Structure 1
Amino acid sequence: MNYPYIVIDDNQESVLKTKAIADGFSELVFVASANNYTDGLNLILEHTPKIVFLEIDPADKTSNLSLQLINELYRYLKVVPKIIVTTTKKELAFDAIQFEVADYLIKPVQRVDLVKTLLKLKKAIGEDEVFLSQSPMLDASSKFVGEPQVIVSEQASVSKKEQPLVLCIKSYGDYRYIDARDICYFQADNNSTDIHLNNGEMITAFKTLKHFESVLPHPFSRIHNSYIVNRHYISRIHTGNAVCYIKNSTTKLPFSKSYKENVDLIISEFANGNYLEI
């Protein structure tokens, strides 16, 4: 079973770090992120995720992020998503408990903490399988390193393979289906967006780049006001010239200072994989 989630945090770097940890669990499916109360509320009502990672003590007070968002959700939803508070302050935990949040995590979110949270959520909703079927934190005897033993049934240990994401570009009864794995990058064009595929084809969608940024999951990252890139198609990153090179092409995409954190995260993800630096 998949668990769509939304991250609501005024700090974009924190959004990316939380998402990077969550993406390590095959059952967690990123839906969107928001940086303020209004956008966060609208995203939750539109997508009705099962889990929301929520910052309640924002550095940017104009974002209006707080536990009051939970009260607002009860006005509109019969079933409110599981709220996981992510913040830097321990002293707000008591207030969060009063709002019956699912868990309270101190930022930066650590994988082991999210493991515990997800196990508690699964237990609470009465499911037998666990989130950890492909987790590197499990050894051959199904034990956590430094944690109590977790018994994983044979059925639970085989997670369902997620179907690849398919984008449907719809226009006047014309449905165009695109396998997201074939998309190299998105390029803004006023109020539309050009989608560049690995076969050299370009398809125009009448949605803004900001819309795509809010709905696209990993491995897509915004690197510029005009570009979202699929990190799997990056062959080279030159930080001095502030450009990313696209595989099997002469295309170079610029990245801007405002999205440098996203590029740094991409570099970090490469280094955390099967990686050899020479």
Structure 2
Amino acid sequence: MNYPYIIIDDNQESVLKTKAIADGFSELLFVASANNYADGLNLVLEHTPKIIFLEIDPADKASNLSLALINELYRYLKVVPKIIITTIKKDLAFDAIQYEVADYMIKPVQRIDLVKSLLKLKKSTGEDEVFFTRTADLDNSSKLQEAQTPDSLVSVGVQNSESPLILCVKSYGDYRYIDTRDISYLQADNNSTDIYLNNGEMITAFKTLKHFEGVLPHPFVRIHNSYIVNRNCISRIHTGNAVCYIKNTTVKVPFSKSYKPNVDVIISDFANGNYLEI
């Protein structure tokens, strides 16, 4: 079963981080995001998602985000989506319980927290099937989630948490297995996508870049209409020239203004790691 979701959060960086975690689950389908009460309410009423990730203690008080949004939803909807609170403090947890929210998560959202939340949700709805994440399989079995086309398949190998994610590009009986850690970046080519490996090899898959954006989890980040980059393969980011440099190559992958927030998250992720700035 699929769960379309909307993120309502006044902090765009938090939106992108929550989406990056949610993108690792095959059932979670991103619909849209909003940064304030009014836009969030309109999005929910228009798209009627099954899950809402909601910030209730915004840094920008003008956004008017709060638990009051839940009351407003009950005015219009017979079935209110499952609400997952995402915030940086525990202070409002008791208040949130009074609104019967599905879960309360401390930001930044962790993958294991979302795993638990989805399990509780499936249990409450009586679903028995195993759900798949794009980075791990909860029962440690090895399976393939296949995207069907007449002449080509692009499958994501669902591995246990200690194994790398394997991408299978299949064409006319030819199965090509790619360790996603070996992918430097992907480039759109009309209705196909060129996959560039860190050994210089290029493989073409007959799927759109948007398809790969939907199935590849972190550290893959879309930075341009034509490019997805492996964050771990970036050696340099030049914001003035709007390019990312790929490790051990002379390749410079451009990023566009519309995807600049994604690049800002990459820069932030580097700074939050084992990092020394000089």
Q: How many residues align structurally?
A: 206
Shift of 1:25: 0.6
Are 2:107 and 1:110 aligned?
no
* Pick aligned residue for 1:239 from 237, 240, 252: 237
Superposition TM-score, scaled by structure 2 size: 0.61
Shift of 1:131: 2.6
Q: Which residue of 2 aligns with 1:122?
A: 122
Q: Which residue of 2 aligns with 1:169?
A: none
Q: Which residue of 2 aligns with 1:73?
A: 73
> Hey, what's the Cα distance between the residues in 1 that align with 2:253 and 2:145?
37
Shift of 1:127: 0.3
> Hey, what's the Cα distance between the residues in 1 that align with 2:221 and 2:228?
7
> Hey, what's the Cα distance between the residues in 2 that align with 1:264 and 1:56?
24
Shift of 1:85: 0.2
CA separation of 1:137 and 1:233: change in aligned 2, threshold 3 A: closer
> Hey, what's the Cα distance between the residues in 2 that align with 1:163 and 1:14?
33
> Hey, what's the Cα distance between the residues in 1 that align with 2:2 and 2:146?
10
CA separation of 1:231 and 1:25: change in aligned 2, threshold 3 A: same
Q: Which residue of 2 aligns with 1:101?
A: 101
CA separation of 1:267 and 1:99: change in aligned 2, threshold 3 A: same
CA separation of 1:5 and 1:252: change in aligned 2, threshold 3 A: same
Q: Which residue of 1 aligns with 2:8?
A: 8
Superposition CA RMSD, Å: 3.9
Q: Which residue of 1 aligns with 2:207?
A: none
**Structure 1 unmatched runs, 5+:** 143-156, 165-182, 186-195, 200-215, 270-278
- 8 Å CA contact 1:184–1:197 kept in 2: the answer is no
- 8 Å CA contact 1:31–1:217 kept in 2: the answer is no
Q: Per residue, is there more strand in 1 or in 2?
A: 2
**Structure 2 unmatched runs, 5+:** 150-185, 193-212, 245-250, 270-278
> Hey, what's the Cα distance between the residues in 1 that align with 2:108 and 2:252?
35
CA separation of 1:81 and 1:163: change in aligned 2, threshold 3 A: farther
Give matches, 1:1-278, under 5 Å: 1-132=1-132, 135-136=135-136, 138=138, 140=140, 161=146, 197=190, 228-231=225-228, 239-240=237-238, 241-244=240-243, 253=254, 255=256, 260-265=260-265
Shift of 1:218: 7.5
State the one-letter code of the partner of 1:12: Q
> Hey, what's the Cα distance between the residues in 2 that align with 1:44 and 1:114?
21
CA separation of 1:232 and 1:162: change in aligned 2, threshold 3 A: farther
> Hey, what's the Cα distance between the residues in 2 that align with 1:109 and 1:236?
24
State the one-letter code of the partner of 1:48: T
For residue 239 of structure 1, give the secondary structure of its aligned residue in structure 2: strand
> Hey, what's the Cα distance between the residues in 2 that align with 1:197 and 1:94?
51
Shift of 1:244: 3.6
Superposition TM-score, scaled by structure 1 size: 0.61
State the one-letter code of the partner of 2:114: L
For residue 131 of structure 1, give the secondary structure of its aligned residue in structure 2: coil
CA separation of 1:139 and 1:81: change in aligned 2, threshold 3 A: closer
For residue 49 of structure 2, give the secondary structure of its aligned residue in structure 1: coil
For residue 104 of structure 1, give the secondary structure of its aligned residue in structure 2: strand
Identity level (%): 66
